[in-house]
Amino acid sequence: MMTWLLLLFLTGCLFNLGIGLWVILVHFFRTDVPAAIGHTGRFRVLHCLYLLVVTWGNILEKLGICSMPKFIRFLHDRIPIRKDPDVVVTKLHFGTIPVRLYQPKAPSRRPRCGIIFFHGGGCTFGSLRIYNSLCCHLSRESDSVVMTPGYRMVPDHRYPSPFYDCMAASIHFLRTLETYGVDPSRVIICGDSAGGSCATSVCQSLMTQPDLPKIRAQILIYPYLQGFNFQLPSHQQNRNVPFLSWNTFTSCMFQYFDIHPSWETTIWNGAHVPPEMREKSEERISDRNIPKRFKERGYQPMSPGPFNEIAYLETKQLLWTMNSPLMAENDIIAQLPETLLVTCEFDILRDDALLYKKRLEDQGVPVSWHHIEDGFHGVILSFDIKPFFFPCSLRILSIVIHFIKDL
């Protein structure tokens, strides 16, 4: 019996060693780590830990034990929450949607600013729990009431469930602002990554509902905004940069929209966009609209491949305005509120925000834009994680808080 237990133990050790070696090889041979990010040792360790968790998640998924997204969400929801003594956190439900409300403890002489915050994670990772510290920080430092919904995510819930949850929670909050001591003239929609994409679409949708309080501003932190062109400079330059490489990006996108992975190359080449849509998309989603300095770090312009009708029928939801808000009509864009855009240099989605900036400015919408030269996708979550802290995360939060206070 002892012999079998010893063999089982040694097998487990060797298996774990093999996984560790595989993770290290993948990191060093398939990953780009730009020196300009700084703290590259910290960055490498963090990415290796991320790869280790994803690898174990994939193994458990293949064994039929648990899906990879659920495994990762289970792990990051085991991270202890630090209570903020200056913020009251209330767990609510708006209908069936779990919501967290963050309110400063200090009394206020007047109704506060309200922030509707949508968390990131590609509708695959992320949760109310892992964004708790960030929402506390926003509420405390900007003296605002923050509402964030726990929208449904893959694999159990795909498009359009997350958007509908965010839209429903936003409408409920907007109709009950007085209950939470929020000034109806100072409501902001905010989000990072997929949350930034949802914030963009929700904000555009709310423009068509005059019975609700008007949104004062939107804050979009490295958002995904279009499914037409995946050959922009940032896609080419940052294809292998963590924590949103092309492989991670397509994995989240295909799961969310229920697209088969076999269409990856077709989408990368732009062959899923029909000819009648290409003219408009070329006008709005073209490298001509991206400043020259963002093309200098290795960029090769490419023409889209020949149209593939089957690919279009399988992936056409990528092109709908709800999922490509960068393509919204001018009359919708012109109604949008003052906007803060935050981009990171080493982010595959950088150019989506640059193109949206131009569209907003062309329609007379006031835009504040901040570009983080040493930033990468997802960095904002490192602001209070001491072993893996990156200074630019606090710079982003400082930018956001100053923007809110100046409204």
Strand 182-192 and strand 217-221: pairing?
parallel
Summarised one tens digit per residue, pLDDT across range 14-39 is 667 778 888 888 899 999 999 999 89
Strand 97-104 and strand 144-149: pairing?
antiparallel
Q: Is residue 38 part of a domain?
A: yes
Looking at residue 165, which CATH number applies to its domain? 3.40.50.1820
Q: How far is the C-alpha of 6 from the C-alpha of 12, rounded, in Å? A: 10
Average pLDDT over residues 360-364: 97
- pLDDT confidence of 208, banded at 50, 70, 90? confident
Residues in the chain: 407
- pLDDT confidence of 236, banded at 50, 70, 90? very high
Give yes or no: residues 36 and 104 share one domain.
Answer: no
Give yes or no: residues 351 and 214 share one domain.
Answer: yes
Q: Is residue 100 part of a domain?
A: yes
Phi/psi of residue 223, each to 5°? -85, 155
Give yes or no: residues 136 and 192 share one domain.
Answer: yes
pLDDT of the residue at 80: 84
- pLDDT confidence of 169, banded at 50, 70, 90? very high
pLDDT of the residue at 78: 85
Q: Is residue 27 part of a domain?
A: yes
Give yes or no: residues 133 and 219 share one domain.
Answer: yes
Mean pLDDT for the chain overall: 93
Give yes or no: residues 158 and 72 share one domain.
Answer: no
Q: Is residue 103 part of a domain?
A: yes
Q: How far is the C-alpha of 57 from the C-alpha of 62, rounded, in Å? A: 9
Nearest partner of 155 among 11, 257, 229, 299, judged by Cα: 257
The full DSSP string for 83-104 is PPTTEEEEEEEETTEEEEEEEE
- Residue 9, pLDDT above cutoff 60: no
List the catalytic residues: 193, 347, 377
Give yes or no: residues 327 and 206 share one domain.
Answer: yes
Domain of 187? Answer: 87-226+321-406
Give yes or no: residues 135 and 179 share one domain.
Answer: yes
Contacts of 302 (CB under 8 A, 6+ apart): 231, 269
Summarised one tens digit per residue, pLDDT across range 314-326 is 999 999 999 999 9
Give yes or no: residues 70 and 110 share one domain.
Answer: no
- pLDDT confidence of 196, banded at 50, 70, 90? very high
**Among 76, 98, 133, residue at a domain's last position:** 76
Give yes or no: residues 127 and 218 share one domain.
Answer: yes
Please tell me the pTM assigned to this model.
Answer: 0.95
Q: Is residue 232 part of a domain?
A: no
Q: What is the count of structural domains for the chain?
A: 2
CB 58 within 8 A of CB 22: no
Structure tokens at 254: 């295909």
pLDDT of the residue at 279: 85
